[in-house]
Amino acid sequence: MSEKLQVAVAGIGRMGMRHARHFATLTPRAELIAVCSPVQAELNAAAKEFPGVRTYTDYDLMLSEEETLQAVVVASATTVHAEQAIKAIELGLHVLCEKPISTSPEISQSVVNAYKTSLESHPLQKVICGFSRRFDASYRDAHNRMVTGSIGKPSVFRSQTCDKLDPSGFFVAYAEFSGGIFVDCSIHDIDLALWFFGEDSKIKSVTAVGITAVQPDLRKHNDRDNALGIIEFYGGKIAQLYCSRMMAAGQEDCTEIFGTEGKIAINTQPQLNLVNLYEPSGIRREIPADYYGRFREAFITEANEFTACCLDNTPAPLQLESAVKAVAIGCALQESLITGKKIEFDESGRRVEGSKL
Amino acid sequence: MSEKLQVAVAGIGRMGMRHARHFATLTPRAELIAVCSPVQAELNAAAKEFPGVRTYTDYDLMLSEEETLQAVVVASATTVHAEQAIKAIELGLHVLCEKPISTSPEISQSVVNAYKTSLESHPLQKVICGFSRRFDASYRDAHNRMVTGSIGKPSVFRSQTCDKLDPSGFFVAYAEFSGGIFVDCSIHDIDLALWFFGEDSKIKSVTAVGITAVQPDLRKHNDRDNALGIIEFYGGKIAQLYCSRMMAAGQEDCTEIFGTEGKIAINTQPQLNLVNLYEPSGIRREIPADYYGRFREAFITEANEFTACCLDNTPAPLQLESAVKAVAIGCALQESLITGKKIEFDESGRRVEGSKL
Amino acid sequence: MSEKLQVAVAGIGRMGMRHARHFATLTPRAELIAVCSPVQAELNAAAKEFPGVRTYTDYDLMLSEEETLQAVVVASATTVHAEQAIKAIELGLHVLCEKPISTSPEISQSVVNAYKTSLESHPLQKVICGFSRRFDASYRDAHNRMVTGSIGKPSVFRSQTCDKLDPSGFFVAYAEFSGGIFVDCSIHDIDLALWFFGEDSKIKSVTAVGITAVQPDLRKHNDRDNALGIIEFYGGKIAQLYCSRMMAAGQEDCTEIFGTEGKIAINTQPQLNLVNLYEPSGIRREIPADYYGRFREAFITEANEFTACCLDNTPAPLQLESAVKAVAIGCALQESLITGKKIEFDESGRRVEGSKL
Amino acid sequence: MSEKLQVAVAGIGRMGMRHARHFATLTPRAELIAVCSPVQAELNAAAKEFPGVRTYTDYDLMLSEEETLQAVVVASATTVHAEQAIKAIELGLHVLCEKPISTSPEISQSVVNAYKTSLESHPLQKVICGFSRRFDASYRDAHNRMVTGSIGKPSVFRSQTCDKLDPSGFFVAYAEFSGGIFVDCSIHDIDLALWFFGEDSKIKSVTAVGITAVQPDLRKHNDRDNALGIIEFYGGKIAQLYCSRMMAAGQEDCTEIFGTEGKIAINTQPQLNLVNLYEPSGIRREIPADYYGRFREAFITEANEFTACCLDNTPAPLQLESAVKAVAIGCALQESLITGKKIEFDESGRRVEGSKL
């Protein structure tokens, strides 16, 4: 085994701390050496949990001080993902950037551009966007089966990312910067659609509708708590999306890929574990309360595979360009959700005039 | 028990014969007395299976000759549903008309109008459209639970009617007169949406996309073999539909109703029966091959409840007006499927200009 | 269709009334003409539900008065099953006798003997014991698959009949005459074991243990509320039984047949219908509250097939001799349950001395 | 974080290598420093996979040479478990011994005795037997629920350990030293019964039967390929076991605990992951091929918790005495399986005379 990858995590809120843990204790080939956050309380918590790991309130300072640093995990607020990623890229560091790269396709593209430029001088550099589902054992099993032809030609895709109802109002505040429910939640489903249909799939149109069934205040941020979307791709492929913040039982993320000769369903019968409870009211099982409950193992695999590709200079497990495409589709869906208009694209990817705002 | 309802079945193709059987042997309070069909072979088969039942090649002749006739089941080709239903209605007969009443909303409305007129002189007359799912024990259980508040306010609806792949080309020929996949298949899901959201729900918009993944010849009849649709209703309710002719495993009809406090799922884990097979390739279960395999019991309940409401003059189990609304929505979806346009409606139900063809 | 089978039901308690309904309204080829019960209130209820059906307090009188009677359903208390069955048999009537024929193997055999004698003068006579699971669609599917070789040689059998907890004390009173939990409940599982392993299977040993977890008063009738049993058959076949009166969620009857090349499981995931409820506490489904909720369709099939074999003189759907064997095995298990002794049999079916009480 | 626990693995066959991997790369607080095996090829494989880890053909030599050694994982052949464990114990080392400690209750007890003696001079020493299911998230969830009263008083227990059919003949050779199917497989279920019923449960009787359905050669080692057992405990608790080497689909390990107020079922619907395949033959899912596929995460948790209790001197996650009791019950079941006799125990744990061989 080679030396351990020296990793820093930028942003150690809830998800950032999880990344820090994964790299500190569950990724044998990596070593967590530093974390940064503008929030001192978060740094204190990290210092306590990870003795010896250096803490910074300033991202730039961390980059300049940590001379052995090889890789940065960007898990800060979405609004600074791109800026932090680009800074690390320009230093030749490997980057694992949380999704979405940005809520703007243009800014997302700028990260790709920075990477392309940097690759010229740092040909071994790896930059990926953390689409955790790509690392999930069930999604991988499904993808492998599809690739080996078990369902014929994949033609229809259905996927949903549905969060448990959080009556605290968290999602209203969150919506101000999240980019909207299609960019925040459905980005995963869009990424999966691209993965299953082919990352070179050309988008033909998007349409979306939505409501605020439980949190009307979302409207002030042009967001909704339940939304339905349809994506058409050139070449006879269509996708149906549902995103929600209203689930009672827990996280309900599931996907179906319908092919000309069969279907693969992932997590259409969600469950917390292998326990069933037989009670006077019937048979009951619990389901994960949030996406981390569902995808924890995938995040750990992500940390390990990212580490391995950096250390071994093997191909990255996913392509950064695809993440930009996912943002662009998510933004188009979000726009359609708000304007009520169907948005069409020609085969070169340009929006058709009549469908513009 | 009162006298038995005297029933005739018009159209004794596959589904008509099933109706005939249900009334002849599985509806204790009904008696099948006559059947008609333009196809002599069908009449021969019926004569053999139902000794004593009179057979007719001519519908009008049957109506005039059968003096004791009380009720007609219209199970003929969709193209003559309305005409046959109106003739029976005008004679004061009870009518159970297979879905859809017609592939045209206007013609469907004409049946409602005929019924309204006839009711003035035949106040006990019952006319229903056979939306079999309304009689299914699971859908009824779901509806009862929703009505009693177990999921809060129903807000999002997902439903699909997906047929097993039939490589014979049957569906291509069938598409010429079926009204299209949204009118033929999704009509059930639309009816369920109206049932769960309220039959007075006002439609706001429809959008649809589709492909021909397995039967490109459907395009010559302006049809598709897979289609996705979204329906918006005024008042913050949205519905997502999927219809298909491409399922590998069998009939996949399922529905989910998402409320503000919970969700009800119907048949999201389809199965033929209670058997699971443990084989070297894993655990396997079969699913019904067609809608009749899934809904046979519902059809029998339909026959019995239709009979009971006719004999006892109790309220019909469903309202004819709703069936017209379902056809109108199905036709709008089918139009959107072909034109690629989103179709919008104002609160009075009129199409918004810009959305017209 | 031929004339309708003229049927009387003896005993119209809860299950008897269900039989009466099945024959009166759900068996097109049968006609319910009479019922008898020593309980006048039951007769009144029947008279109201089945106008025109004659009622009797005396079984013998019914047999003598009903000159057109062709078949008797014996659904009275278990203690009079055999006596009533024999009386009907001796008159040449067809008989459908509820399980068990008797709680005594000897008395059960006497019914078979009476039938054999009667057959000499009434060669078309049909007498069956109502093992309802033999008529269940899932069990039949399982049996068909096994017979056609899909699991290799069936070798291990697991089956359970587990009733919902009834805190009313009903089962304590019931235990006085039920023959015990193995004769009352497991008789079905034993019959299934014989059906799946072959009705000519030779019993080698039985062992049983049990407890009174919720109803200690059962001990005064030498009964238990939970019991486990093992049956060994000659030829390398073994069976595991569980019977209980303590289930929280409802009726839990399931069966597994393990063959050398596969396994078939029946109802190992019990459910009331196709509805799943997503609630803050998780995903929930209900299950049938009692055996009738699980097997109603099977009872109706039983009524129709019994009727058909009587009218058409086709082979009976199950053999009476097998029912005697099931009682004998059930009694041996019950004896082992109480004595704590393993009971062994030689290949001729005789008990091995050392294992006697 | 404190210093890392210095660990050696004795025996690096299939399961030993897995333990080595868990400690080397998936247990952050442990460091694998040495392995031993009499098989040079195994040592070569380990040397390649774990650079820097020292390899030994001789267990004693390893113990004497590895001066920093703190803990030994005994994963060698069952026949040397006890001997190797005792040697490590006597040196004051922590020990994680694979199950069973021995196929003899007396030898198993000698390990406990050695541990008790050693504790006097090494009060911080931890010795556990690796019952992996105790570390499984689903079993733990079930146990927690039971402990907090969600099913009332646990009264009936059903559990099975059923291996996938291995036509290679492996299990025949293996049976020579395995102690038999009840000691090798059901030991887990017995341990679970003790865990769920209370480790102080007093055994009252055992009975077992078995067959050789697929591997008749097992008889030469007094073993069977399918066996059923019943365990009675004093105090009104009973358990039903099934062990098999004949499953077609894969590993089928499941458990049910029936309480007076509810039931908990673990893995009664086995699955490999969250994928369902919809194919022309129905809906299919795969299941784990072996116990490691089912319990891998539990083994990793075991490694981490064993490490933590050694480093932090916290209570061991399970008690060694219980493992001796499990072996004693397993041996009694195996004896009953072969002799055909029920074996009874008095409340002091002594065998009742009449039940002896």
Q: Chains near B, with 3+ CB pairs < 8 A?
A: A, C, D
A280: tokens are 């006077």
The CATH-assigned architecture of domain B5-130 is 3-Layer(aba) Sandwich (3.40)
Of the residues B283, B285, B287, the best mutation for testing chain D's interface (the one with the most D CB atoms within 10 Å of its CB) is: B283
Of the residues A163, A274, A283, A285, the best mutation for testing chain C's interface (the one with the most C CB atoms within 10 Å of its CB) is: A283
Q: Measured between beta carbons, which residues in chain A are less than 8 angstroms from residue B238?
A: 209-211, 226, 228
Structure confidence at residue D265 (pLDDT): 98
Q: Are C324 and C154 in contact (CB under 8 A)?
A: no
Q: Does B3 contact C at CB distance below 8 Å?
A: no
Q: What is the mean pLDDT of residues C192-205?
A: 97
| Residue C183, CB-side half-sphere exposure with 13 Å CA sphere | 27
Q: Measured between beta carbons, which residues in chain C are less than 8 angstroms from residue D261?
A: 248
What's the pLDDT tens digit per position in A141-199? 999 999 999 999 999 999 999 999 999 988 898 899 999 999 999 999 999 999 999 99
Asked if B265 and C273 come within 8 Å (Cβ–Cβ), the reply is no
Residue B353 has pLDDT above 80, yes or no: no
| D345 DSSP assignment | B
Structure confidence at residue C354 (pLDDT): 62
Q: What is the mean pLDDT of residues A311-334?
A: 96
Positive or negative, the Cα torsion across C183, C188, C190, C191?
positive
Burial class of residue C33 in the structure, from the number of CB atoms within 10 Å of its CB (0-12 exposed, 13-18 middle, 19+ buried): buried
The Cα angle at residue D254 between residues D249 and D260, in degrees rounded to 5? 150
Question: Closest approach of chain D CAs to the CA of B18, in angstroms?
Answer: 25
Residue type for position A150: S
Q: Does D155 contact A at CB distance below 8 Å?
A: no
Q: Does B142 contact C at CB distance below 8 Å?
A: yes
Positive or negative, the Cα torsion across C258, C259, C264, C266?
negative
What's the pLDDT tens digit per position in C66-124? 999 999 999 999 999 999 999 999 999 999 999 999 999 999 999 999 999 999 999 99
Residue B205 CA to residue B207 CA, distance in Å, equals: 7
Residue in D224, D79, D74 with CA at minimum distance from that of residue D162: D224
Residue in D35, D28, C121, B191 with CA at minimum distance from that of residue A303: D28
Positive or negative, the Cα torsion across C195, C196, C199, C205?
negative
Q: What is the CATH number of domain D5-133?
A: 3.40.50.720
Q: Chains near D, with 3+ CB pairs < 8 A?
A: A, B, C
A295: tokens are 């995808």
Q: Are A33 and A68 in contact (CB under 8 A)?
A: yes
Chain B CA closest to residue C22: B28
Question: Closest approach of chain B CAs to the CA of C223, in angstroms?
Answer: 31
What's the pLDDT tens digit per position in A83-107? 999 999 999 999 999 999 999 999 9
Chain D CA closest to residue C224: D236
Rounded to 10 degrees, the C-alpha dihedral C59/C60/C65/C70 comes to: 70
- At the topology level, CATH places domain B138-296+325-355 in Dihydrodipicolinate Reductase; domain 2 (3.30.360)
Asked if B286 and D284 come within 8 Å (Cβ–Cβ), the reply is no
Helix (H) or strand (E) holding C191: helix C186-197
Distance (Å) of CA A135 to CA A302, A305, A325, B303: 6, 9, 19, 52
Residue C177 CA to residue C164 CA, distance in Å, equals: 20
Question: Closest approach of chain D CAs to the CA of A251, in angstroms?
Answer: 14
Rounded to 10 degrees, the C-alpha dihedral B130/B131/B134/B139 comes to: 140
Distance (Å) of CA B315 to CA A101, B123, B319: 59, 12, 9
Cα D241 versus chain centre, distance:
15
At C169, the pLDDT band (50, 70, 90 cuts) reads confident
Q: Does A339 contact B at CB distance below 8 Å?
A: no
D51: tokens are 């650079």
Residue B265 CA to residue B250 CA, distance in Å, equals: 19
What's the pLDDT tens digit per position in C6-40? 999 999 999 999 999 999 999 999 999 999 999 99
Q: Does D25 contact A at CB distance below 8 Å?
A: yes
Asked if A266 and D279 come within 8 Å (Cβ–Cβ), the reply is no
Residue C52 CA to residue B33 CA, distance in Å, equals: 24
B163: helix, strand or coil: strand
Of the residues C141, C189, C211, C266, the best mutation for testing chain D's interface (the one with the most D CB atoms within 10 Å of its CB) is: C211
What's the pLDDT tens digit per position in C231-269? 999 999 999 999 999 999 999 999 999 999 999 999 999
- At the topology level, CATH places domain C5-133+297-315 in Rossmann fold (3.40.50)
Q: Are A127 and A238 in contact (CB under 8 A)?
A: no
Question: Closest approach of chain A CAs to the CA of B14, in angstroms?
Answer: 26
Q: In what order do the strands lie in the sheet with D94-98?
A: D54-56, D30-36, D5-10, D71-74, D94-98, D127-130
Rounded to 10 degrees, the C-alpha dihedral B46/B52/B53/B56 comes to: 80
Residue D223 has pLDDT above 80, yes or no: yes
Q: Where are the domains of chain A?
A: 5-130, 136-296+325-355
What's the pLDDT tens digit per position in D178-218? 999 999 999 999 999 999 999 999 999 999 999 999 999 99
Residue A123 CA to residue D4 CA, distance in Å, equals: 37
| B279 DSSP assignment | E
Residue C294 CA to residue C160 CA, distance in Å, equals: 14
Asked if B248 and D284 come within 8 Å (Cβ–Cβ), the reply is no
Q: Which of D209, D252, D260 sits opposite C214 (nearest CB)?
A: D260
| D316 DSSP assignment | P
Asked if D137 and A273 come within 8 Å (Cβ–Cβ), the reply is yes
Residue D356 has pLDDT above 50, yes or no: no
Asked if C249 and A286 come within 8 Å (Cβ–Cβ), the reply is no
| DSSP for D86-115, written as a single string | HHHHHTT-EEEEESPS-SSHHHHHHHHHHH
Pairing of strands B282-285, B275-279: antiparallel
Question: Closest approach of chain A CAs to the CA of D324, in angstroms?
Answer: 28
Q: Which of C248, C272, C283 sits opposite A279 (nearest CB)?
A: C248
Q: Does A28 contact D at CB distance below 8 Å?
A: yes
Cis amide linkage into residue B280, ω under 30° from 0: no
Residue D354 has pLDDT above 70, yes or no: no
Q: What is the mean pLDDT of residues D216-243?
A: 97
What's the pLDDT tens digit per position in B105-155? 999 999 999 999 999 999 999 999 999 999 999 999 999 999 999 999 999
Q: Does A286 contact C at CB distance below 8 Å?
A: yes
Question: Closest approach of chain A CAs to the CA of D201, in angstroms?
Answer: 24
Residue A1 has pLDDT above 50, yes or no: no
Q: What is the mean pLDDT of residues A322-341?
A: 96
Asked if C283 and A249 come within 8 Å (Cβ–Cβ), the reply is yes
Residue D156 CA to residue D255 CA, distance in Å, equals: 11
Residue in B231, D94, D203 with CA at minimum distance from that of residue A230: B231
Q: Measured between beta carbons, which residues in chain B are less than 8 angstroms from residue D284?
A: 281-284
Interface size A-C, in CB pairs within 8 Å, comes to 51
Q: Does B283 contact D at CB distance below 8 Å?
A: yes
Collect all residues with Cβ–Cβ distance below 8 Å to B188 and sequence separation of at least 6: B99, B131, B132, B133, B159, B161, B253
D152: helix, strand or coil: coil
Residue A38 CA to residue A61 CA, distance in Å, equals: 12
CATH class of C137-295+325-347: alpha beta
Q: Which of D210, D236, D238 sits opposite C228 (nearest CB)?
A: D238
| Residue B258, CB-side half-sphere exposure with 13 Å CA sphere | 33
Does domain D136-296+325-355 fall into CATH 3.40.50.970? Answer: no
ipTM of the complex: 0.95
Topology agreement, domain C5-133+297-315 and domain C137-295+325-347: no
Asked if D249 and B282 come within 8 Å (Cβ–Cβ), the reply is yes
Backbone angle region of A256, left / alpha / beta, with phi > 0 → left and psi within -120 to 50 → alpha: beta
Question: Closest approach of chain C CAs to the CA of B122, in angstroms?
Answer: 30
Q: Does B145 contact C at CB distance below 8 Å?
A: yes
Q: Does A202 contact D at CB distance below 8 Å?
A: no
Question: Closest approach of chain B CAs to the CA of C181, in angstroms?
Answer: 25
Chain A CA closest to residue B157: A228
A16: tokens are 């950032």
Q: Does C167 contact A at CB distance below 8 Å?
A: no
Chain B CA closest to residue D269: B283
Q: Are A40 and A61 in contact (CB under 8 A)?
A: no
**C-alpha Rg value of chain D to the nearest Å:** 20
Q: Chains near C, with 3+ CB pairs < 8 A?
A: A, B, D
pTM of the predicted model as reported, rounded to 2 decimal places: 0.96
Asked if B248 and D280 come within 8 Å (Cβ–Cβ), the reply is yes
Cis amide linkage into residue D216, ω under 30° from 0: no
The Cα angle at residue A146 between residues A274 and A270, in degrees rounded to 5? 25
Distance (Å) of CA C346 to CA B172, B335, C154, C297, D210: 67, 77, 22, 39, 17
Residue D119 has pLDDT above 80, yes or no: yes
Residue C1 has pLDDT above 70, yes or no: no
Interface size A-D, in CB pairs within 8 Å, comes to 80
Residue D38 CA to residue D84 CA, distance in Å, equals: 13
What's the pLDDT tens digit per position in A102-111? 999 999 999 9
Collect all residues with Cβ–Cβ distance below 8 Å to D192 and sequence separation of at least 6: D133, D139, D157, D159, D255
Asked if D278 and A263 come within 8 Å (Cβ–Cβ), the reply is yes
Of the residues B201, B209, B343, the best mutation for testing chain A's interface (the one with the most A CB atoms within 10 Å of its CB) is: B209
Question: Which positions 233-272 of D are in contact with C (Cβ < 8 Å)?
Answer: 236-240, 242, 244, 246-249, 252, 258, 260-263, 268-269
Asked if C282 and A249 come within 8 Å (Cβ–Cβ), the reply is yes
Asked if B209 and A226 come within 8 Å (Cβ–Cβ), the reply is no
Q: Which of C250, C278, C287 sits opposite A249 (nearest CB)?
A: C278
The Cα angle at residue B251 between residues B248 and B257, in degrees rounded to 5? 120
Q: What is the mean pLDDT of residues B65-71?
A: 97
Distance (Å) of CA B161 to CA B229, B246, B250, B255, B257: 12, 11, 11, 9, 15
Residue with tokens 């913040």: A245
C114: helix, strand or coil: helix
